Amino acid sequence: MSTVVLVGGQWGDEGKGKITDFLAKQADWVVRYQGGNNAGHTVIVGDEEFKLHLIPSGILYKDKKCVLGNGMVINPQVLIEELEGLKARGIEMAELFISDRAHVLLPYHCRLDEMKEEKLGENKIGTTKRGIGPAYADKVARMGIRMGDLLDDEEFSDKLAQSTASHNEVLDGVYHLKGFDDQEIKNAVEEDLKKIKSAIQDTSVMVYDAIKRGENVLFEGAQGTLLDIEHGTYPYVTSSCPTAGGAVIGSGVGPTAIDKSLGIFKAYVTRVGEGPFPTEQFEADGESLREKGHEYGVTTGRARRCGWFDAVIGRYAVRVNGLSHAVITKLDVLGGFDTIKICTGYQYRGEILRDFPASLAKIKECVPVYEEMPGWEEDISGAKSIAELPQNAQNYLKRLEKLMEVPICIVSVGPNRDQTIVLEEMF
């Protein structure tokens, strides 16, 4: 038996969905522990492409139990749409469970997210506008509504009336907008609730008992290390903890319950939204990575910013997540470059920084120090083992391992399940 937490090692979109689905084959449980439908996880099975936002990427196997953990913020309408979309494609929700402690994301959160971004103008965060920040703000301000509250009509009515009134004050007073009608929100939620009521349970108990029985549990992170509210490029971050510690908080198990911490890294780096990105490439190299890697957002369709692999943030992710292993995805995208660059440190006022700084002003002054490695021409998307990769691709992987000081256990050379090279089994 094993328990593995899978986290994004960069700024999200590292291929977590693909790797979660791949590893889910051997897992009994797949547990999302933070975030909401700001996530967009792509899973390809045969000719079919699935884009998952709230539902764990284990749902595509019939026999897996999937959990939406207490650390998530859940928009019931989006959840129902996602479930119905899957159902229409023959995927049932028989074994999906929703934590009664997860927070409910409602229409006023989305409206406030939009308005806050608009007001920030040039200083905007570049959020997904899915209401994530305002929903977590309510949670921390102790005025959120939890999934379990929906099961008690009086409790839900009272909390919703209070919450709607409080948000309407802001919408009206600050943004001069018409507020929301709590009864309308309630009617819509109640309609959605009919379809998920029985799934709302104390999922911490379920996951704890599963671990005690020796079952395999995979905790699926959304977003990435550098988007973490604690460890990311604050304030250009999301409002939850995607890092490995978040799995403990967001699913209700203790740190001793987790055996392995797996960081997913693209073979280069991308970012959507605003904020620092030291190895970003603005010209031909960035454009090539974007086109070859089809780097457009799953949730918002925005073009992703692209740049070279940054071993400074790689080492940082190893440290703050206690990574036991790394997965490198999209190695195939680097084919055709004469030389490939890796950032090994940042030059800052005459010294070389090896650790990622907290200060955005400092990051702005940092100049990445690059090491160049020869690339390869071959199409590697059919490679079934490391030995089948061109020597230069093998050298690149070895260099990443050395720079990040973590062993690579999986290399992904394409979006499909069979385009996955396993060096070490996780379960």
Looking at the annotation, which residues are catalytic?
A: 13, 41
Strand partners, 411: 328, 421
Among 127, 163, 243, 324, binds ligand IMO (CB under 6 A): 127
Burial class (CB in 10 A: 0-12, 13-18, 19+), 416: middle
The answer to whether 365 and 348 have CB atoms below 8 angstroms apart is: yes
For residue 82, state whether it binds Mg ion (rule: CB under 5 A).
Answer: no
For residue 227, state whether it binds ligand GDP (rule: CB under 6 A).
Answer: no
Q: What whole-number distance in Å separates Cα of residue 118 and Cα of residue 116?
A: 5
Nearest residue to ligand IMO on Cβ basis:
273
For residue 329, state whether it binds ligand GDP (rule: CB under 6 A).
Answer: yes
Smallest separation (angstroms) from ligand GDP to the CB of 412: 3
Please give the residues from 278 up to 317 whose contact with Mg ion meets the rule CB under 5 A: 298
Among 59, 105, 272, 320, binds ligand IMO (CB under 6 A): 272
Candidate segments 35-43, 64-72, 114-122, 307-315, binder of ligand GDP by CB under 6 A: 35-43
227 binds, among ligand GDP, Mg ion, ligand IMO, none (CB under 5 to 8 A by kind): ligand IMO
Q: What whole-number distance in Å separates Cα of residue 331 and Cα of residue 17?
A: 16
Candidate segments 5-13, 25-33, 181-189, 363-371, binder of Mg ion by CB under 5 A: 5-13
For residue 145, state whether it binds ligand IMO (rule: CB under 6 A).
Answer: no
Q: Where do contacts with ligand IMO occur on this chain (CB under 6 A)?
A: 8, 12-13, 38-41, 125-128, 130, 132-133, 222-224, 227, 238-239, 272-273, 298
Q: Where do contacts with ligand GDP occur on this chain (CB under 6 A)?
A: 8, 12-18, 40-42, 44, 298, 329-330, 332-333, 412-415
